[in-house]
Amino acid sequence: MKAAIGRSNKSNKRSQALKGILEKQGIEHIPEDPIKGVIEIAIPTSSSRMVTFGAGVINKSASSEVSISQSIALFNGLIDKELGRAAAGLGIDEGELKAWVDLQMEVPSKTILNLLRLMQSLHLDPLCEEIGFTQFEDGQWQVFITIEGCSKLLNQHPQFNGLVFTQADTLIDGVPEWIECAIYRKDRTVPTTVREYLTEVRGENSIWQKMPRRMLRHRALQQCVRLAIA
């Protein structure tokens, strides 16, 4: 019973995420048909639209209607396919990965797809907390590579040749004003250097209050890895 409720909640969350995507494209909702049992969406009659969902494209004329249930099925099918590939590529149990994905009920399906594809290209494992999701203040979700994931990317890269941290002499509430990370590669003559400022990245959660220097250093490392290792 709990599993069935979980699947229902996940489907509802994904439906809401999909509706949000449709609304951004100027598509209006039609109330649920109590007879058909599905929710449909109408495309404005002023112009034709091409509605894109991840890797799938649905072409509709100005007067046509598209069933939202078909779009949800498309997303779920893509997720299931990428989930199997990601689990096989990392050598992890597909059932465990699926259970982890099912717990991400607040995350839009499009963001889940992005994570599954990044897992395969970067060989990062969410079950080991190497990659996950983060939500911004405006409500938008994004795939997030953790400090464990960044360390793995660095140490497994054949051109990685060390890194150096430097920090400002000036302090803000006892914390360096900025911390800089420089990553060296064997195939480049100069290091990739990134400086992160405390006032720009400081968070309000408890870990920032307890370990602000470490968190600032993490932010510098993560952004530097993003540029140096890509």
pLDDT (tens digit, 0 to 9) for every residue of the chain, 230 residues total? Answer: 544 444 455 455 555 555 555 455 454 444 443 333 333 333 344 333 333 344 444 455 444 456 677 777 787 888 889 999 999 999 999 999 999 998 888 888 889 999 999 999 999 999 999 999 988 878 889 999 999 999 999 999 999 999 999 999 999 999 999 999 999 999 999 999 999 999 999 988 899 999 999 999 999 999 999 999 87
Model pLDDT, residue 54: 42
What is the number of domains present in the chain? 2
Which two tokens mark 148?
Answer: 């464990």
**Nearest C-alpha neighbor of 91 from the set 60, 56, 49, 119:** 119
The pairing of beta strand 40-42 with beta strand 28-29: antiparallel
Q: What pLDDT is stored for residue 18 in this prediction?
A: 52
Residue 65: the pLDDT is: 53
What span, in angstroms and rounded, lies between the C-alpha atoms of 230 and 228?
A: 6
Classify the phi-psi angles of 15: left when phi > 0, otherwise alpha if psi is within -120 to 50, otherwise beta: alpha
Indicate whether 112 and 219 sit together in one domain: no
Q: Is 76 part of a structural domain of the chain?
A: yes
Instruction: Evaluate whether residue 127 is within a structural domain.
Output: no
Domain that holds residue 70: 2-122
Rounded distance between C-alpha atoms, residue 148 and residue 119, angstroms:
14
Q: Which residues pair with 139 in a beta bridge?
A: none
- Phi, psi angles (nearest 5°) of residue 55: -90, -5
> Are residues 101 and 158 part of one domain?
no
pLDDT at 20: 56
Q: Is residue 195 part of a domain?
A: yes
Domain match, 104 and 19 both: yes
112 and 174, same domain (yes or no)? no
User: Cβ(9)–Cβ(104) under 8 Å?
Assistant: no
b/e 89-99 (16+ beta carbons within 10 angstroms → b): ebebeeeebee
Q: What pLDDT does residue 177 have?
A: 98
Residue 136 belongs to some domain of the structure: no
- What backbone torsions phi and psi does residue 185 show, to the nearest 5 degrees? -125, 145
3-state secondary structure of 100: helix
132 within domain boundaries: no
Sheet holding 28-29, edge to edge: 28-29, 40-42, 65-67
| Residues 98, 19 share a domain | yes
